[in-house]
Chains A and B, each alone.
Chain A
Amino acid sequence: MENLVQLAMQNVNFAAIMPSLVLCCFGMAILLINVFMPRGKTTSASLISIIALLVTAVVSLQGWNNPQFGFAGHVALDNFATFFNMTFLLAAGLTILMSDDYLRREGYPIGEYYPLILFSTAGAMWMASGTDLMTIFLGLEVLSISLYILAGMFRHQLQSNEAGLKYFLLGAFSTGFLLYGIALLYGVAGTTNVADIGLYLSAHPAMIGNPMTVAGMLLMSIGFLFKIAAAPFHMWTPDVYQGAPTPVTAFMSAGPKAAAFAALMRIFILGLAGLQSEWTSLLWGLAILTMIIGNVTAIYQTNLKRMLAYSSIAHAGYALVGLVAANAVGVSGILFYMLAYTFMNLGAFAVLVLAGKKGEENLTLEGFSGFGFKRPFLGVAMTIFLLSLMGIPPTAGFAGKFYIFAGAIKSGYIWLAIIGVLNSAVSLYYYLRVIVYMYFKDPQEDYSWVSMHTGAVVSIVIAIVGVLYLGIIPGKIMEMAKLAIF
């Protein structure tokens, strides 16, 4: 017995899981505090969550250039994980800032909202820092289950119910594929450790072409591509994004996408490097399909949340290009792109949060007629975010796309880069249309219901600063992203 405890403790390295540990402790503490709070008072919970995220950010940064490993090869807090952790924390922070007033306006001041965001952030961290398929899988589950709950949280709204149920059923289905893939890879290599799978495959090259290995890789990709919302696994995205509470949609579009990319990159580049030609050709096709489906379908959308959902599919396609390139520029480009996307997309959603009426109304294009002149600050902010989503310099979106397409060209995927740029050109249409409605249409309403709540305004300001900083001086962050890859 004593022996077993010693055996168990020798693997424990709390430094390697400190960020997620801090988040979970704060999450549980907020759960307890909620019990003693009067019903509907959630401001303190949101403030404590912000503090939790700040503390976690400080703790997280200890891992930069100071890699920590532990738990028998289950977790590695290296530069890669730290970079992604900061992205997740940023997404969670902006989400929480824009949530408090929104939840009260919609009549659902639920204190458990904040712990769920914290837990899902911790899940994302386990996905980014996990070096074992089991850890990555459980991180994915923590992340997803929190999001199923958050998506369906508005219990008396049919759309929210639909979003929660749809996300849950399809998510559970895709998890099945992921597990099946993990089981096959375990059958091939006899281990679930990503690095050990890589070692086994390089020691046994005969197993690389084996149908079991290829099938395991394919099934596992389905699980992650579903979370990324890559075509043809994107069907859930518009309905879920539209039905879920707007701040939750904002988080959903940035957090899980970045986390799934992190896991996919670690598994493909470290574990399945031997199958690179297989997964490159798979992702090559899917990247093109995803970009085209996302951009073309977005043109037909009149609801802004739905439009941003399709745009998020398209952006997943751009980021996949970086993984196809699989060189230093492309892969670090993904890290940069995920950070840039977090800033611009959460900023855009924060504007939607403020511009919406109770009951998620006024999110149509017509509803934004003349919005830019009546509400100058929000109009300018939205314009900046949309320009960034288009990829117009000097914004973060341009720098991100530049690095990713440069990576593709460097690896010889010139056509892929050309298709990507053409798709960006298509996307101009539906992003610019919003700006046209905001500035060149006569206002039909006076937008008197729009009140500038502190939290959401702070998150918009942070997002603007981030978008412009990453767009004008991308070099420093890009250097860090280059240090962060394997």
Chain B
Amino acid sequence: MQVLFFYLVALVTVISGVIVVAAKSPVNSALALVNTFFCLAVFYVMLSAPFMAAIQIMVYAGAIMVLILFVIMLLNMGVEPFKKFTHVTWGVVAGSLVLMLTLFFISRGQPTKVVGAITRDVILKEGHTELIGKSLFVNFLLPFEITSILLLVAIIGAVILAKKEV
């Protein structure tokens, strides 16, 4: 049952992924991207990571999609992107190479083996959200703080590069 459900969601993910690339209108692309994000959230739920699923929907399907749609609206893009896109062959070649490599690594590596401190038992015992919060504020405190500097730099950049008159 679970496997069947997985393949169903995977199929929808792949189809909407193809639509993202192939759709003529940018808005259709963006909406297909939302669909992809939702399917990824379903995968997180199936991996018993409900918090990640919620964040995936809130941040990606919510905030980032709104930004993408805003940009599309502001740029006022029409329905014409395909004409100028002449690298389809190379895209297909590169894409299939990446696919083959990924399949190679998945089949030859041992991705099913669980390594590291965070195992299924630990997640069930401590709770998924608690575990993320704890590692964010205890083990990964420094990266978490560095991120704030990163965002500050990005804000400065947006102001310098985009403000009317500096």
Interface on A for B, CB 8 Å cutoff? 4, 7-8, 11-12, 17, 24, 28, 31, 71-72, 74-75, 108, 110, 112, 115-116, 119, 122-123, 126, 132, 134-135, 138-139, 141-142, 145-146, 148-149, 152-153, 155, 164, 184, 186-191, 200, 210-213, 215
CA–CA, A134 to B135, complex, Å?
A: 13
Minimum CB–CB distance for A155 against chain B, Å: 7
Closest 9 A/B residue pairs (Cβ): A190-B116, A212-B109, A190-B115, A149-B157, A71-B142, A138-B146, A211-B108, A134-B143, A74-B142
Q: How many residues of B contact A (CB 8 A)?
A: 33
A126 touches B146 (CB 8 A): yes
Q: Which A residues are CB-close (under 8 A) to B134?
A: 4, 7
The total of Cβ contacts below 8 Å across the A-B interface reads 111
B105 touches A4 (CB 8 A): no
Q: Could you tell me the dominant secondary structure of chain A's interface residues?
A: helix
A116 touches B142 (CB 8 A): no
Minimum CB–CB distance for B14 against chain A, Å: 19
A211 touches B104 (CB 8 A): yes
Q: 14 new A-B pairs (CB below 8 Å) besides A123-B149, A148-B157?
A: A8-B141, A119-B152, A122-B149, A138-B146, A145-B150, A145-B157, A146-B153, A152-B161, A155-B161, A164-B161, A211-B104, A212-B105, A215-B101, A215-B105
B156 touches A139 (CB 8 A): no
Q: Which B residues are CB-close (under 8 A) to A210?
A: 108-110
A212 touches B140 (CB 8 A): no
Provide a sorted-by-A list of 9 A–B residue pairs whose CB atoms are within 8 angstroms.
Answer: A11-B139, A74-B143, A112-B159, A119-B153, A135-B146, A142-B146, A153-B160, A186-B116, A212-B111
CA–CA, A298 to B57, complex, Å?
A: 50
Minimum CB–CB distance for A411 against chain B, Å: 31
Residue of A nearest to B111 (CB): A187
B116 touches A112 (CB 8 A): no
Residue of B nearest to A153 (CB): B160
Q: Which B residues are CB-close (under 8 A) to A141?
A: 150
A153-B160, A200-B115, A210-B110 known; A12 vs B147 contact (CB < 8 Å):
no
A149 touches B142 (CB 8 A): no
